[in-house]
Structure 1
Amino acid sequence: MESDDQDERYVFFKEYGFNYDIYEDIKGSAGDDYESFPNNVIPEDRSDNPSIKVDCLRLNKYLMKFENNEQCQNNNCCEYINYFLNNAARTYNDSKESIFNIYITYMNRNSDNTIMKLCVPNIKFMEQTKYDKIFKLYNSYEICQLFNSNKYNTTACSLAKSCATAYNKILTTYQNPDDKIFCKALKDFAENIEENYLTSKMQCSGESLNLTSYPESCTQLLENVERSTSSMVQQDGMLEGQVRSEEPSDPQGEKMIEILADDTTSPSSFDTTLPISLFSSGAGVLLILLSFYKFTPIGQWLKLRTQGFGGITKNFDEKLYEMQQPTSEYDERNSEYNGYNIAYNSL
């Protein structure tokens, strides 16, 4: 299979008629600008110099007929020009590609022409196999264009037969095309021929004009291309959705959530901690008050209230009494520091 450029599309049937009519209209007046042809584009010693100049001037005249780039693009004028230049280059005995390069040089020299500039990237020399296929397709177009433009005249029947013959020939020559661009052009061609089929039968007094069916291989190829394109679009949509779902959330929002989580105490934790804290605080206060029961009225009252715990109170009293009585060890250690205490108190 030939490698096709992503945006390449052969000229369709009606587009060819539109561009062909423009070219036929200007080709006779190209010589008017002969003297204005730029220097250093074509070597002066070439014997075919004048003919190549006319080709270039026709190209310029043709593109000037388009009001803007959009009109040119809508009618696929750049592809028509590409075919026209490939066809013109093959009319010379010299190297076809060298002639074609002269055309490109001329177009580059006229880059101030916006439509010329638009078409330059699409102007490419065709290898012979591709050119032959397109030549046969466009030649069939021309024959059927004559039928379309004269379908109500007395010669319509003969033109219809010629169109049907040309159409059948291109389909039988390429019964199993593996070129999606060519298949699209054939499909458009078939639809336009079938559109005029009833008219041709009427003009030929009911004589049958058998048309070759559109190749099944083309139908399958275009269906596969459509499925592949739909799958790619769907995958792109899924990938875009995945990228969006994986985007990081607001870091400030996450930080705020973390702070709130750290500062929040769960109800169950609070219920467990509160009784323990109250019990510890109450026990500490009780012990302090008991230690002073001998020196304060409330201590005496607490002593009476705790008589039920006789054993505990007695042991506690004995321990407290021992703590309050001076011992010989304590007296000796204290007497060692009496001098320091006296000196400190005398300051």
Structure 2
Amino acid sequence: MNKTSLLILLVASLFFGCEAKNKKQYANNVSTVESILEENASALLKDKRFHSLSVGIYKDGKTITKHFGELEIGKGNLPNDTTIYEIASVTKTFLGTLTAKAVLEQKINLNDDIRSYLEQPYPNLEFNGKAITIQDVLTHTSGFPNFPIKGDTKQNFFEGLKEIKIEDEIGTVYAYSNTAPEVMAFILEKVYGKPYEMLVKEYIVAPNEMKRTKFDLSEFEKKSLVQGYNGENELMPNFERNLWGGTVGLHSTMADMLKYIAYHLEDANEIIKESHKDFLETPYDFNIGYYWNIIKTKDEVVYRHHGGIFGMQNWLMIYPKQNMGISIFTNCSFDETGELLEEVATNICAEVAKIDLSDK
């Protein structure tokens, strides 16, 4: 064997040796992440008000999911990647993303008076002569009530807007509202000339191949829809949407939510960059922009939102600096659910952030 052949053989052996070593290290790292998920899930499920937990991690372009517990008490039926959940108020982040798109396309302006898009005058929707703007709607500083005065139909929703009395200076007082996002969804529907559901599908769901993320489910899909419990282990009804769906109403799966995380980690995407802008410092531990709750520390910026509905809750957290995100669901809903779920999700992310899943 000549020197050239020996050199080629040496280089090849080194290459394949390194590749095998990297694959082994990657497998070890995946196993470590799975152990972290199992430890945290086991600790949470000791609280017998919790019945199941689904956790999905996106990091360094890879996804890891684990599922625990049972969807129906006593049946032992484990959730999986295609189990359908109501994502509740995490739906608002889809609205924020679409609003960012509309701003970039100059279909709307953040400083626009929302009444310019409504079909009736609404002289009551101002305070001391100051109008409610689109930015006020996005940041929960519009002065709108938490829940619609009339929310049974779209027509009655607009009648309910006439009864709103704005009592604080607009744009300054943070007060969470499930009314304002429905107005925002209507505005997008009007400027694009398409139903809001179609906008979500066309601009977010379809491009990201989130095939099981939708407002309305088929009869077949409803068989995979979670029906969860309250704190007394009573079965709770699923939510029925009467309005546009800016506030709540989307269904999704763990597999699809990880695709949504990947989408929001596209740092070169102008829509994503716009949707992550910070508009307001709240009295709490977060700022707010296009509906995202934004937590800033000296080391990182985190984009988060909680979703809670009658029988299930979830958290979505995105860590751009770590190229990481987490989606976590449970099939129960009681007063402390969100706080307990938040603690678990935060703990998991703190540990997983240290692990390289790039398989390089």
Structure (1 or 2) with the greater helix fraction: 1
- The structure with the larger Rg is 1
TM-score calculated relative to the size of structure 1 = 0.23
Taking structure 2 as the reference length, what is the TM-score of the superposition? 0.22
